[in-house]
Amino acid sequence: MSDHIHIRREGPAGRITLTRPKALNALSYEMAMAVDAALNDWAGDPGVAFVMMDAEGEKAFCAGGDIQTLYDKGRAGDYDYGRTFWRDEYRMNARLAEYRKPIVAFLQGFVMGGGVGLGCHASHRIVGDSTRIAMPECGIGLVPDVGGSLLLARAPGRLGEYLGLTTDRMGGADAIRAGFADTYIPEEGWEALKTALVETGDLSAIQTAAIIAPEAALAERQDRIDAIFGQPDLPAIVAALEADGSDFALSALKALRRNSPISMAATLELLAELRRSAAGIREALRLEYRFTARAMEHGDFLEGIRAQIIDRDRNPQWKHRLESLHSEAEAMLAPLGHDELAF
């Protein structure tokens, strides 16, 4: 059991609490495996009626995966560590998404990357005023993963392309609109709600505590987002943003010029394939794994982490330019043969 997670039974609830607030509850391999083991144990336990997930601290439910070790291993040429990390984490994500008992997740503060995979596949996803949800992977040389690609593909219109490519952060209302959350509850009432759920097991208390979410900013921009991010490829999206020229478009263009070109191109391919095939969580994770399994050795991941997390110079030297991508993204998503993700 990891020291950074508290797993226990309370009344009818199986409870999972992330206890690493100083690190914004970053999800380590050990933490992910502890969650997976608990879910497996509780699945057949008639005494567990539902699962509740939360986290200590006000700043974050989980701001992402613990990538320091991934970076260190990759720099040393150990690419198998990352493949093992992602493979086993993705299996945990699938278990969460397919779980047959209700899962209630309280998503305060930053919910990013691995935090999305942990909290946003739950059946009851609660957000509040502090919630900031994002898929920031294109900024570090990955693609939206942990099943986040499926959430993006199912978002209204072209919100998925916009959120995936720009890595923009969603407040609680936007997260509900985009399909990353369900219920808006003021955070001052969360502890009382948790107590009520544990004491009664009555999940209708969630809707009783819910309020109408504030206006979603993405709703006002939906038409513009659909027109621009519905373009057929990355260069066309860049051209549409340049032609639009609004403050919104210029801000999005700045994000695209900052993020990994091969990651963004592969994200477009990934979302298009998931929509085309009407895929479920397992197929989404398989496609994501094709990219992440190659990301250290053939992609921009190590350089992205160096620039954003290690040296923090915010000046990544990507392997490709926006204007020069051809078949590289397709190659990163090609089948892995015997190494394909299996469940």
Domain that holds residue 286: 5-339
Q: What is the pLDDT of residue 134?
A: 98
Whole-number mean pLDDT of the chain? 96
Rounded to 10 degrees, the C-alpha dihedral 152/123/5/30 comes to -50
Percent of the chain with pLDDT over 90: 94
**How many angstroms separate the CA atoms of 150 and 143, rounded?**
12
Catalytic site residue from 54, 89, 145, 161? 145
What's the CATH number where 200 sits? 3.90.226.10
Which pLDDT band holds residue 1 (cuts at 50, 70, 90)?
A: low
Catalytic site residue from 66, 137, 269, 300? 137
Q: What is the pLDDT of residue 317?
A: 95
Instruction: Please indicate whether residue 119 is annotated as part of the active site.
Output: no
Instruction: Answer whether 259's CB lies under 8 Å from 138's CB.
Output: yes
Q: Which residue has the tokens 């991934």?
A: 70
Task: Choose among 133, 148, 120: nearest CA to 60.
Answer: 133
**How many angstroms separate the CA atoms of 219 and 142, rounded?**
27
Catalytic site residue from 65, 109, 141, 148? 65
Instruction: Please indicate whether residue 65 is annotated as part of the active site.
Output: yes
Catalytic site residue from 82, 114, 141, 304? 114
Q: Is the pLDDT of residue 108 over 80?
A: yes
- Predicted TM-score of the model (pTM): 0.97
Rounded to 10 degrees, the C-alpha dihedral 291/115/91/82 comes to 50
The strands making up 110-112's β-sheet, listed across from edge to edge, are 60-62, 110-112, 132-134
Q: Give residue-wise pLDDT tens across range 288-317.
A: 999 999 999 999 999 999 999 899 999 999
Q: Which two tokens stand for residue 222?
A: 């939906």
Task: Choose among 238, 220, 216: nearest CA to 229.
Answer: 238
> Per the structure, how many domains does the chain have?
1
Q: What is the pLDDT of residue 67?
A: 86
Q: What is the pLDDT of residue 68?
A: 86
